[in-house]
Chains A and B, each alone.
Chain A
Amino acid sequence: MPEVENHAVHPDSKSGVPESSSKTIGLTDVEWRRLAFVLSLSFAVILPFVFEGFTTFQFTLAGIYAIAILGLNLLSGFNGQISLGHSTFYGIGAYTSAIMINQLEVPAYWTIPAAALICLSFGFIFGLTVTRLEGLYLALATFALAIATPQILKSKHVEQWTGGVQGLDVYKPDVPQALPLEADQWWYFVVLGILLLMLWCTKNLVNSRSGRAMIAIRDNPIAARSMGINTSLYKALTFGCSGLYAGTAGALSAIVIEYVAPDSFTFVLSFFFLTGMVIGGMASIPGVIFGALFVLFLPNFAEDFSKNLAYAIFGILLIATVYAMPSGSAGLFSAILTRLKQKLNQ
């Protein structure tokens, strides 16, 4: 018994041996992570100069998806709330930006934080409303939200702003004159910058006190409540934050694609985000980039065989991921990494 008490008095004593002390080909885990970060970042910076415009545009979209998936992962991976309704937040972001640019002639850059704030509030209010729902019931409510959204956007009551079925055109601002960049390249870097910022914010958030509260709510809501965490408020705030990410992504997509229409924001989009999150790994921050690239590029490859195949492959992959990891904690991405590490260590 005395040993246990010892630990209780010095909670840090158990971390005497750092977990990263094991080395893989001469480098510790932390060093590997830094190396991977530097390499991917340099690759990301060179990328728009190597590939042609359309491919750059695709990577830009992947970056936007990554932001949305990051938001979803914050909600589901770290806070345990399932959402099938992120297409709605993304859509609200996109429409906010489009309406502000198209009808109010606000400069495009300003519409991004505006969309983010609107989705933050909507997410917070929605989160507060559904705070009592858990698991499949929350999935059901958000599923209904996703299904209803295109209809609402088309509705005659809002048609004068949303442009109804036709949607809205968006005018993308020019590249700053001082920069020797094409429009595709410039927007690629804007998205990359925002993505990096949000990755950094997320990392700090989940390692903070609030982040630990979020995770505690996911793992054991009742224990979290008894520890004095205001679970309803935290859940609603996480929903708001998650909405902020999705809204930012939506606004960026409206500007980059230069067009919004109701049928771009169907349940299928939510399904893509969810698949991206699961493939990248629940509660894995770098995983979202892998997941986003995956859901964006797999359909391109699959469509060479059949237009319908991509969706089916996602379905099979989702099921396969659950089979491989019934607890749903790690995704394909982390599974590959772990396997690789074991191979190298042998």
Chain B
Amino acid sequence: MDLFVQQTLAGISNGAIYASLALAIVMIYQAIDHINFAQGEMAMFSTYIAWTLIVRFDVPYWIAFGLTLVISFLGGMLIERIVFAPIHQAPALSHLLVFLGLYAIFNSLAGEIWGHTIKEFPSPFPDYSFGGLIGAHQVGTIVIVMFMLAAIYSFFKTTKLGLALRAVASNPESARLVGIKVKWMRALGWGLAASLGSLSGMMIAPIVFLDPNMMGGILIYSFTAALIGGIDSPGGAVAGGFLVGVLENLVGTYVEFIGSELKLTFALLLITGTLLLKPNGLFGRKIVTRV
């Protein structure tokens, strides 16, 4: 029973990380109707920035944490304005190529600047375990992510800017007609997504260690989460994140065939399964392609 509780709690903690990255993916999907394949690499790059601030410049953790969120936000906005705004009308394949281009650029830039050796990333939480069931870092991760999600939720629900963002996601043309500056809303969506991604990177890095390829698997889980939740449903992405986190851990523990080494294959099956059987996810809306 202890093992079950322990694995479930660890799953929730991982799930919090997937949830934040999945939410980032959904936000960009809502802003530009495309799936950001470079989301993981962007998060990795942000995490390296945090590492530089903390380890190289001795900035206190929480200040570095805040700075990283802000830097990532601005970086995300810049990427939208510079890279994606000019090809806004281009077809899916062109977007995919640009995402992959960014993926490669961030990955190799990180390797170039910080090298490929694995680095330790500090956790802001003490090295403490609650009754051997869950570590302080895991609890901290859950708390921080929940706090961020709550902040984002209330931003969307209670502020005018949040309402404008949701309006753009719902109907860009009408949004323009009522006077919302749609292109800035898109950039804002990217900024928020990049911030959320950096949060997931900073929370996972103490566990998987810092290296340019650290987000590969996490991105896959987050895609799975976003798809299960419904790619256009922010709430669904969060729920999907926790679901995938818990499932991943329990399946890895109890299904001997999968174990820890075939977890990614499990994610692959979940992705293909969701896409084929429930393409709108559990909470999403129907995706209609126009002829």
Taking Cβ atoms with an 8 Å cutoff, the residues of A that contact B are 76, 82, 84, 129-130, 132-137, 139-141, 143-145, 147-148, 151-152, 154-157, 222, 267, 271, 274, 278, 306-312, 314-319, 321-323, 326-328
Contacts and interface: CB of A to CB of B under 8 A. Distances in A.
Contacts of A311: 104-105, 107-108, 111
B101 A315 contact: yes
B216 interface: yes
A147 B217 contact: yes
Contacts of B259: 156
Interface of B: 34-35, 37, 83, 86-87, 89-98, 100-105, 107-109, 111-112, 216-217, 220, 223-224, 227, 257, 259, 261-265, 267-268, 271-272, 275-276, 279, 289, 291
A147 B109 CA distance: 21
Give 4 nearest A-B pairs by CB, closest first. Answer: A315-B104, A318-B101, A315-B105, A135-B92
Contacts of B93: 76, 82, 135, 328
Contact of B272 (A130, A147, A155): A130
A328 B223 contact: no
A322 B216 contact: no
Contact of A129 (B87, B224, B272): B272
Contacts of B112: 306, 308-309, 312
B104 A318 contact: yes
A281 B262 CA distance: 36
A314 B96 contact: no
B104 A133 contact: no
B265 A271 contact: no
A290 to B, nearest CB: 17
A132 B276 contact: yes
A310 B217 CA distance: 23
Given A308-B111, A328-B91, A319 B97 contact: yes
Given A147-B217, A156-B261, A141 B102 contact: no
A319 B83 contact: yes
A136 B94 contact: no
Given A136-B92, A140-B223, A326-B89, A319 B272 contact: no
Nearest to A152: B265
A212 B183 CA distance: 40
Given A154-B261, A314-B104, A278 B97 contact: yes
Contacts of B289: 134
Contacts of A134: 289
B86 A323 contact: yes
B268 A316 contact: no
A136 B34 contact: yes
B87 to A, nearest CB: 6
A5 to B, nearest CB: 28
B217 A328 contact: no
Looking at chain B's contact residues, the main secondary structure is: helix
A140 B220 CA distance: 9
B153 to A, nearest CB: 26
Contacts of A129: 272, 276
Nearest to B36: A136
A135 to B, nearest CB: 4
30 contacts: A76-B93, A130-B272, A132-B276, A132-B279, A135-B96, A139-B35, A139-B37, A140-B223, A140-B271, A141-B272, A144-B268, A152-B265, A155-B261, A155-B262, A267-B216, A274-B97, A307-B111, A309-B112, A310-B108, A311-B108, A314-B104, A315-B100, A315-B101, A315-B102, A317-B101, A319-B102, A322-B97, A326-B87, A328-B90, A328-B97
A81 B37 CA distance: 17
A170 B279 CA distance: 42
Contacts of B90: 322, 326-328
Contacts of B275: 130, 132-133, 137, 140-141
A134 B272 CA distance: 12
Given A132-B276, A311-B104, A318-B97, A323 B227 contact: no
A143 B272 CA distance: 11
Nearest to A157: B257
Given A139-B37, A148-B267, A312-B109, 7 more contacts: A134-B289, A137-B279, A144-B224, A151-B263, A155-B262, A312-B104, A315-B105
Contacts of B264: 144, 147-148, 151
B119 to A, nearest CB: 16
A312 B94 contact: no
A147 B220 contact: yes
A177 to B, nearest CB: 46
Contact of B101 (A157, A222, A316): A316
Nearest to B93: A328
Contacts of A314: 101, 104
Contact of B291 (A130, A156, A222): A222
A76 B100 CA distance: 16
